[in-house]
Amino acid sequence: MKKILILSSVLIIALSQKSFSQVVKDPVIMQIDDESITKSEFERVFRKNNTKDTKVDSKAVNEYLQLYINYKLKVKEALSMGMDTVAAFVEELAGYRKQLAQPYLVDKAVTENLVREAHERMKTDVRASHILIKCEQNALPKDTQEAYNKAMKVRSELLRGGDFATLAKKYSDDPSAKENGGDLGYFTVLQMVYPFESAAYNTKVGEISLPVRTRFGYHLVKTIDTRPAQGDVKVAHIMVKTSPGQTPEDSLRAAQKINEIHDKLKAGEKFEELARQYSDDPSSARNGGTLPVFSTGKMVPEFEKAAFALQNVNDVSGPVKTSYGWHIIKLLEKKPIGNFETLQNDIRQKVQRDSRSDLSRYSMISRIKEKYGFTENAKSKTDFMKRIDSTLSEGNWTIDKADGLKSTMFTIGNKAHTQDQFALYIANHQSKRNQGMAPLALANHIYSEWVMDGCIAYEESKLDSLYPDFRNLMQEYRDGILLFELTDKKVWSKAVKDTAGLKEFYEKNKMNYMWSERLEATIYTCANAEISAQVRKLMKKVDDPDTLMARVNKNSQLNLQVKYGKFPRGENDIIDQIDWKPGVTKDIVKDKQVVFAEVKRVLPAQPKSLEEAKGLVTADYQNALEKEWIEELKKKYTVKVNQDVVDSVASK
């Protein structure tokens, strides 16, 4: 009893000191029931979400405070419902933690060197050929040696004057070598596995590397050429869309159409006008076919290759086929590789996803071992390895083979890793793909992975105490996931599933979803006045647009284009300049084409149907549900705000 009283007294003093310290250093800005939110916590989130505002006024702080209160109320409700204990939530948060922890679990100095190396290599494209002698990553030592010796033998033939392409076709285990003689064409950084990339960049032009080990086997790399990197490119295109599974007739018509457009370009017609008239990419057609700037790897290969092949501004390609259809490409601008300051963040992300990141991971593991005093029990490891047999190579090793083994194999910090834990790790990480590998060699490989995983896991367990930024970010992710799940349940999914409630909301508010006055019409865009006359004549006999187009476009897919719709003012320039009354209009010359419209009727302003306005109605219904929910939460939980502390955030 005395011990309990002493501990209680100490705890009371500690809490009193903490409370006094908090008042002085970090006052409470608001309280929701028994939960206190400090000024620093609110201020950190506020400034994170208001980075553009250099001057913070009282109005901005108070407006954000209301949003923050709503946010905290929802999170508190989720916690009260036990949503943070649900298995799916725990698993999802653990996944996010793994991702967020990655930057903290690598050697930043090594990573920085890799980033700078990648940027330097990015300035140059390299063309290389290779001969691959296949060797599995976990091959037996004798098989590894055999593959290496074969690679060295082939290299000797090359150095004696053997033709690389001929020997690649003869010896290479890369199937493409039969066609390309090992020539991989030009590539740049982060497009090949790191050891291969390094060999290509570090081998002088015309020379052949020593055998380079990758997960595929041993490569002999011959650097054929280098050139300055292509950088970024800006192009415009005219697209004739095709789709998978279309009929041969449709494919033929698409090819015919792109060739006719190309003929018009060769005849001197303007690219931009033809893009506006004929391109099936509406987002770029409005701008004369112009696309955003892109670099290597941003477009489908066929399009990218054709775009970078254009040498001079205003050069135009022939028809290019991709999985999206046919394209004619015009070069507008070429940009060189950006400087390090501009590109470093993007490169860093790519490096972290690339196999070269293992270098910084291995360096980090060495530091962790030193930092926390890694120790290994050699006898325990030897005893365990006696239980390994051929079943491991077959992927059939079972835990019972290690029965009775429980001693420590290694220790990192205050965490001991035991033989029975290693047995479970083996059972979960063995693979039938390792058949043929020596069991003991495989067991040692798995052991090394287990040790590295254990070291990383130990460091990861310390991140919350070591790095406040990581701890705060984890809380934000936790609260964010909870908020999403509960809001989905109370608002988003409810609005979608509650058809009766949605319909009732629409009926009460349907005057908010109005069609303006519209014209129901069909627009006929003809290549010239002669085609227009032909169409007008055929319209008396044919009322189906597809049939009409099939007849008129028999000789050219550019003769006629038909568009039907219900058009409000301001949406279509043809509709805006004709009389809004039923009938067929006169010909209008537009972009060297002849256009006329057949007006069906004028539709008066009227409410949109629920189906027509469903997206807007659903969004508004969700907002209404959320407001109602917030009011319920404010009644359920007591919110107290310290306005003086709020005002101090603004004045700061």
Question: Which of helix, strand or coil describes residue 431?
Answer: coil
Q: Range of 549's domain?
A: 514-607
- Would you state the pLDDT for residue 290? 96
Tell me if 242 sits within 8 A of 325, measured CB to CB. yes
Answer with the one of 437, 464, 491 that is the final residue of a domain: 464
Judge whether 320 lies within some domain. yes
Question: Which of helix, strand or coil describes residue 388?
Answer: coil
Judge whether 159 lies within some domain. yes
Interval 210-220: pLDDT, tens: 999 999 999 99
Answer with the one of 571, 591, 607 that is the final residue of a domain: 607
Answer with the one of 306, 330, 354 that is the final residue of a domain: 330
> Quick one: 270 and 295 in the same domain?
yes
> Quick one: 178 and 128 in the same domain?
yes
> Quick one: 197 and 285 in the same domain?
no
> Quick one: 431 and 380 in the same domain?
yes
Q: Which residues contact 242 (CB under 8 A, 6 or more apart)?
A: 250, 251, 254, 324, 325, 326
> Quick one: 224 and 247 in the same domain?
no
> Quick one: 440 and 533 in the same domain?
no
Prediction pTM value: 0.60
Interval 20-58: pLDDT, tens: 334 447 899 999 999 999 999 999 899 888 766 557 788
Interval 374-413: pLDDT, tens: 999 999 999 999 999 999 988 899 999 999 999 999 999 9
Q: How many residues does the chain have?
A: 652
- Would you state the pLDDT for residue 530? 96
Judge whether 640 lies within some domain. no
Strands 518-526 and 593-603: antiparallel
> Quick one: 264 and 320 in the same domain?
yes
> Quick one: 319 and 394 in the same domain?
no
> Quick one: 247 and 224 in the same domain?
no
Instruction: Give me the CATH number covering residue 284.
Output: 3.10.50.40
* Cα-to-chain-centroid distance, residue 599: 46
Instruction: Give me the CATH number covering residue 519.
Output: 3.10.50
Judge whether 565 lies within some domain. yes
Q: Sorting pLDDT into bands at 50, 70 and 90, what band is 10?
A: very low
Judge whether 83 lies within some domain. no
CA distance 273 to 287: 10
Give how far Cα 62 sits from Cα of 4, 46, 238, 385, 641, Å: 45, 11, 51, 65, 11
CA distance 216 to 139: 11
Interval 238-262: pLDDT, tens: 999 998 888 888 899 999 999 999 9
Handedness of CA 630, 633, 635, 638 (dihedral sign): negative
- Would you state the pLDDT for residue 141? 77
Judge whether 5 lies within some domain. no
Judge whether 245 lies within some domain. yes
Interval 58-84: pLDDT, tens: 888 999 999 999 999 999 999 999 999
Tell me if 79 sits within 8 A of 312, measured CB to CB. no
Give how far Cα 584 sits from Cα of 291, 517, 579, Å: 37, 19, 10
Q: How many domains does the chain have?
A: 4
Q: Which residues contact 266 (CB under 8 A, 6 or more apart)?
A: none
> Quick one: 143 and 181 in the same domain?
yes
> Quick one: 253 and 222 in the same domain?
no
> Quick one: 451 and 545 in the same domain?
no
Judge whether 636 lies within some domain. no
